[in-house]
Amino acid sequence: MAYMDGFVIPVPKGNKQAYIDIAAKMAPIFIEYGATRVVECWGDDIKPGKVNDFRTAVIAEEGEEVVFSWIEWPDKETRDAGSAKMMADDRMKPEEGQDMPFSGARLIYGGFAVLVEEKA
């Protein structure tokens, strides 16, 4: 069954295009190393929670939006091998003088085993 990497990332609204540019550059590399799908979503309808929500989870600040992303892999073994290759790939490093368009310290990331999957 498929394996998913999930991300929740606070991104300054003014950095939206810079984020899109980096995501568009990285997505084909994930696919090259075995991912079957890469999805990047910009927050559009995030309601405040009573205890917690997407914004508080990443400590989003005024002027930031939340990005919700996932990478689908055929299985965990492909993901682990692909991740190792990507970490050694110079294309994954920021270009000279390029800052990341988000706070990596507040990025939430994890790998997930799929429990239920149904498609139309």
* Percentage of residues in the chain having pLDDT higher than 70: 98
Q: Is residue 60 part of a domain?
A: yes
Give the model's confidence band at 103: pLDDT under 50 very low, under 70 low, under 90 confident, else very high.
Answer: confident
Q: Is residue 120 part of a domain?
A: no
Residue 27, token pair as written in the block: 């997505």
Q: How many domains does the chain have?
A: 1
What CATH number corresponds to the domain at position 58? 3.30.70.100
Q: Is residue 14 part of a domain?
A: yes
Domain of 24 in residue numbering reads as 3-113
Instruction: Read off the pLDDT of each residue in 62-76 and give the average, rounded to a whole number.
Output: 96
d(CA 120, CA 108): 29
- The length of the chain, given as a count of residues: 120
Q: What is the pLDDT of residue 97?
A: 66
Q: Do residues 73 and 62 lie in contact, with contact meaning Cβ atoms separated by under 8 Å?
A: no
Residues whose CB is less than 8 angstroms from the CB of residue 29 and which lie 6 or more positions away in sequence, other chains included? 86, 89, 91, 92
Q: What is the pLDDT of residue 90?
A: 85
Q: Is residue 93 part of a domain?
A: yes
Q: Is residue 118 part of a domain?
A: no
Q: pLDDT tens, 23-42?
A: 999 999 999 999 999 999 99
